[in-house]
Amino acid sequence: MSDLSQIVKAYDVRGTVPDQWDERAAEALGAAFTQMLAATGEAGDAVLVAHDMRASGPGLAEAFAAGVRAEGRAVIELGLCSTDMLYYASGTLGLPGAMFTASHNPAKYNGIKMCRAGARPIGQDSGLADIRNRAQALLDSGARRPAGEPVRPAERRDLRPEYAAHLRGLVDLTGIRPLKVVVDAGNGMGGWTVPSVLGDAVLPALPLEIVPLYFELDGTFPNHEANPLDPANLVDLQRAVREHGADLGLAFDGDADRCFVVDERGEPVSPSAITALVAVRELAKYPGATVIHNLITSRAVPEIIREHGGEPVVARVGHSFIKAEMARTNAIFGGEHSAHYYFRDFWFADTGMLAAMHTLAALGEQGLPLSELAARYERYVASGEINSTVPDQAAKVAEVRAAYPEAAADELDGLTLSFPDGAWFNLRASNTEPLLRLNVEAPTAERMVALRDEVLDRVRR
């Protein structure tokens, strides 16, 4: 019997299939999701259901849909979908939705990202705990939909043309200089969406020459994991950018809601620099507005936001937290160190594709190479995220805190310690995996390396 406490995380469902969860659990979660919507007065009589290219996706999605229909709501099946396309559907149709994906996790994983109508987030404090409890009760009782019970039929829709047109309407790329772009889809959903948005599959061609890498949908990830946050998964993209003399490279994760960028030399451009770049562009449209960044982005991000007349607001890591803070402040944009980018013009939801389009526009509207353009937004030296498996995470964080009594502490999300010389680090437990995550930043490479190695030694000792 499934123990849903093991797979229902802070802001989504994530676990291995079939040992941690299966289609029976998915059906219970579908019924519980619909019950929660009814209990909280969520309008609408249908639920959107979509899945990525993982082999377990269609079966889990159909089981979830059966649970929804058994509770009296219709289902609109979007079939193969990127997560941001589901958010587009939820926003434009005004319906709640469920996206079956495990994002960047290995092939044996699957999960669900759920939202209310208008792509409003569902996390532990906004409905997910209630869904877990209701679904667990259904599983424990053995209750299942009786065989042959009539259900409302599903409607099937393909919203790729409308999704592509919407994004093109937000960032005009028709007048930029010609750019050669290598795109690594990692056998994920970027291979489904990039031809529609940046190519000419459904709309007129843009002044872009796309060099595709691993566009074939394959949830076994035969070339590399669809996790661009790991530098090992960028190697093929970096090589291709240099070999083709491209202007830049883009890498999408499995469900294509995150986008990573490399410059014309094949060097990674940090998500913090992309956050600052997009923030500047959005502030030019909406002067004086609020921009959200999570506490792991570079300290350069709030500095640059203020310099361009914006109001930076820090938030916890994770899409449900960022989206809730954006809605509360009516922020125009939000960025995370993990390359999630959120837009008020996209129902406060995250879309890697729109961030990619802003990057292409910023590069194509002037003559500098991306390395020089990005350098304007890179002020400090960062370690990137470093993971360590630790048996007792809370005890280890407390031990590290005690080792630095001189540092200013913040516990908004994990432990952030800041030092008088401008260096800082954050140590926090993963919301989806049994790991401690470390991020370090300092004014110089020497200081960053020294602090990184010192903290890692304490964490792994």
Residues belonging to the active site: 103
Q: What angle do CA 229, 230, 233 make, to 5 degrees?
A: 105
Q: 80 with 159: CB under 8 angstroms? A: no
**What whole-number distance in Å separates Cα of residue 271 and Cα of residue 288?**
23
**What whole-number distance in Å separates Cα of residue 138 and Cα of residue 143?**
6
Pairing of strands 74-80, 154-156: parallel
Q: 98 with 69: CB under 8 angstroms? A: no
Helix (H) or strand (E) holding 59: helix 57-70
Pairing of strands 109-116, 208-213: unpaired
User: What is the C-alpha radius of gyration for the chain, rounded to an integer number of angstroms?
Assistant: 22
Distances (CA, A) of 227 to 169, 179, 255, 388, 447: 29, 25, 10, 17, 28
* Structure token pair of residue 288: 């004086």
Q: What angle do CA 155, 160, 163 make, to 5 degrees?
A: 110
Torsion angle, alpha carbons of 98, 352, 12, 43, to 10: -40
